């Protein structure tokens, strides 16, 4: 590394010897009393080129230059990840290995039983709930079910799945979590099919049926991205609302590999220095094809709809509990409802149920009644004793309103 003289240290600006731009002295790294000849931006770019060269060499020499599960190869270098076959021995990631010597990287990768997966395969590998209920989520006749049958089928497939008991022992709230995630996967499928078709807009190869978890959403035009419009932030919204956001903000649907390539700005700028000539030419063609496909994209449908009941908005789960209490009271022909009955019906933990019950109490929709039947019956309970409650007059008016909305919102 070359150094400047101490005289230059007092200057306010300096020319980078790589990009030849005159920049503030703060834009250059320092070593003791000396200033580096290359600016921080160029140094970072050179570091990434070095790391990508190391990564490509490792993948070519030790992993046959391609994904372990599909044909994605070194031409899509940024889309290739290191995957641990055993998470119990995972202590490092590529982020930690960058900048180390070639031999040290190889030693660590061999020690931790690592393979190469493209981002698409990596995401699918880790989508545990999706993989468990894949056949139901991707069922071609799924939309033919009525909302009531749809909900019942979700309950049945979760309860009858061979891994459910094991999952419940690890997470007492597993059934509710799985039910929520299945609905989110189906919602994602519903949106993609109606707005974008069933294949990645970029490569035109990956389909919903082959790898739904790999699909993500990308802003393809220079518009101001609204805060909180990532999929993880809006997935709770209604299908129609999500569709409006994607249309307004020019979002397209890409597989994870294409998405990773579009965001690998440094690689796109320098792949000629990273890959061999024949591989670099293939990478250039792939990137051009992805960009051309995106440029020619047109929305398939501007207004989309949900084929099932609209879900309650975030923070309104108390409405669902209120309706369940109403149905329990009708079915069992009694006014007083036990909190344990509600928990069993909703498949939720005591803590989760009590949070909603407190919400209903605050809204004066239920009243707690002190009952001693459980003492007379001689039943013993662990922890707090179950409470009995009844619906208020205000609750009955609210239930009538909710039932009316429920009927109107059915598709």
Distant-in-sequence, close-in-space partners of 186: CB < 8 Å, separation ≥ 6? 137, 142, 308
Give dist(CA 10, CA 13) in Å, integer: 9
Tell me: do 156 and 285 sit in the same domain.
yes
Looking at the structure, do residues 136 and 240 belong to the same domain, yes or no? yes
How far apart CA 4 and CA 6 sit, in angstroms, is 7
Is the residue at 48 inside a domain?
A: yes
pLDDT at 23: 92
Residues 189, 54 within the same domain: no
Does 310 map to a domain? no
User: What integer pLDDT is reported at residue 2 of this predicted model?
Assistant: 45
Per-residue CA distances from 40 to 28, 30, 35, 126, 272 (Å): 5, 10, 11, 36, 22
Same domain, 161 and 82: no
Quote helix, strand, coil % in the chain, to nearest 5: 55, 10, 30
Q: Is residue 52 domain-shared with residue 115, that is, in the same domain?
A: yes
Both 222 and 108 in one domain: the answer is no
Q: Which of 126, 157, 181 is the last residue of a domain?
A: 126
Which pair of tokens denotes residue 286?
A: 């792939």
CATH code for the domain in which residue 332 is found: 1.10.10.10
Is 311 within the bounds of a domain? no
Pick the last residue of a domain from 80, 104, 126: 126
- The Cα–Cα gap between 343 and 318 comes to 13
pLDDT of residue 385: 56
Q: Are residues 252 and 194 in the same domain?
A: yes
pLDDT of residue 372: 47
Phi-psi region of 99 (alpha: psi -120 to 50; beta: other; left: phi over 0): left
Q: Across the chain, what does the average pLDDT equal?
A: 83
| Within-domain flag for 225 | yes
Are 35 and 64 within one domain?
no
For residue 170, what pLDDT is reported? Answer: 86
224 and 85, same domain (yes or no): no
Look at the chain and report how many structural domains it folds into. 4
User: Residue 86's pLDDT is what?
Assistant: 78
- Say how many Å lie between the first and final Cα of the chain, rounded: 68
Q: Which domain holds residue 207?
A: 130-295
Q: What is the DSSP letter of 15?
A: E
| Within-domain flag for 302 | no
Is 141 in the same domain as 227?
yes
Q: Are residues 223 and 114 in the same domain?
A: no
Q: Quickly tell me which residue has 């879900």 as its tokens.
A: 311
Identify which of 63, 44, 52, 43 has the alpha carbon closest to the alpha carbon of residue 97: 52
Residue 303 belongs to some domain of the structure = no
In three-state form (DSSP H/G/I as H, E/B as E, the rest C), the secondary structure along 68-134 is: CCCCCEHHHHHHEEEEECCHHHCCCCHHHHCCCCHHHHHHHHHHCCEEEEEHHHHHHHHCHHHHHCH
| Residue pLDDT tens, the chain, 411 long | 444 544 445 678 899 999 999 999 889 988 877 888 899 999 999 988 988 998 899 899 888 899 999 999 999 999 999 888 877 667 677 767 776 777 877 777 777 788 999 999 999 999 999 999 999 999 988 888 877 788 889 989 999 999 988 888 888 888 889 999 999 999 999 999 999 998 999 999 999 999 999 999 998 875 566 666 788 889 888 888 899 999 888 899 999 999 999 999 999 999 999 999 999 999 999 999 999 999 999 887 777 877 765 555 556 778 888 888 888 888 777 778 877 888 777 767 777 788 888 888 888 998 887 554 444 444 444 445 557 888 898 988 888 888 776 554 543
Q: Is residue 258 domain-shared with residue 181, that is, in the same domain?
A: yes
Model confidence, pTM: 0.72
pLDDT score, position 379: 44
Select from 91, 126, 161 the last residue of a domain: 126
Establish if 1 belongs to a structural domain: no
The 10 Å Cβ neighbour count of residue 404 is 10
**306 lies in some domain:** no
Residue 367's contacts (CB-CB under 8 Å, 6 or more residues apart) are 389, 390, 392
């Amino acid at each position: 590394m070359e150094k400047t003289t101490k005289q230059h240290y007092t200057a306010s600006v300096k020319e980078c010897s790589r990009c030849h731009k005159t920049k503030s002295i703060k834009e250059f790294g320092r070593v003791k009393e000396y200033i580096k000849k290359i600016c921080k931006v160029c140094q970072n770019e050179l570091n990434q080129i070095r790391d990508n060269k190391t990564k490509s060499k490792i993948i070519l020499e030790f992993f046959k230059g391609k994904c372990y599960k599909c044909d994605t190869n070194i031409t899509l270098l940024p889309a290739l990840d290191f995957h641990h076959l055993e998470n119990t021995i995972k202590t490092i990631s590529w982020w930690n290995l960058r900048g180390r010597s070639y031999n040290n990287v190889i030693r660590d990768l061999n020690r931790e039983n690592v393979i190469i997966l493209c981002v698409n395969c990596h995401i699918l590998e880790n989508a545990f709930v999706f993989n468990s209920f894949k056949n139901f989520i991707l069922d071609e006749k799924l939309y033919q079910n009525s909302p009531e049958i749809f909900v019942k089928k979700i309950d049945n497939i979760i309860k009858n799945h061979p891994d459910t008991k094991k999952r419940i022992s690890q997470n007492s709230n597993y059934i509710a979590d799985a039910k929520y995630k299945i609905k989110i996967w189906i919602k994602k499928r519903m949106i993609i099919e109606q707005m974008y078709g069933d294949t990645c807009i970029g490569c035109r190869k990956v389909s919903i049926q082959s790898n739904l978890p790999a699909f993500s959403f990308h802003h393809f035009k220079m518009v101001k991205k609204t805060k909180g419009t990532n999929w993880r932030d809006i997935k709770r919204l209604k299908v129609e609302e999500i569709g409006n956001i994607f249309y307004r903000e020019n979002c397209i649907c890409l597989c994870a590999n294409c998405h990773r390539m579009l965001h690998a700005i440094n690689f796109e700028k320098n792949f000629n220095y990273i890959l061999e000539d024949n591989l670099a030419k293939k990478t250039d063609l792939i990137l051009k094809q992805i960009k051309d496909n995106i440029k020619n994209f047109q929305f398939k449908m501007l207004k989309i709809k949900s084929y099932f009941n609209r879900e309650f908005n975030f923070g309104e789960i108390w409405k669902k509990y209120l309706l369940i209490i109403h149905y329990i009271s009708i079915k069992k022909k009694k006014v007083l409802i036990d909190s344990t009955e509600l928990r069993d019906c909703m498949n939720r933990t005591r803590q989760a149920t009590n949070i909603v019950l407190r919400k209903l109490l605050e809204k004066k929709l239920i009243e707690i009644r002190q009952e001693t039947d459980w003492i007379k019956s001689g039943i013993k309970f662990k922890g707090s004793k179950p409470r009995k409650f009844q619906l208020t007059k205000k609750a009955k008016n609210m239930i009538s309103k909710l039932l009316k909305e429920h009927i109107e919102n059915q598709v």
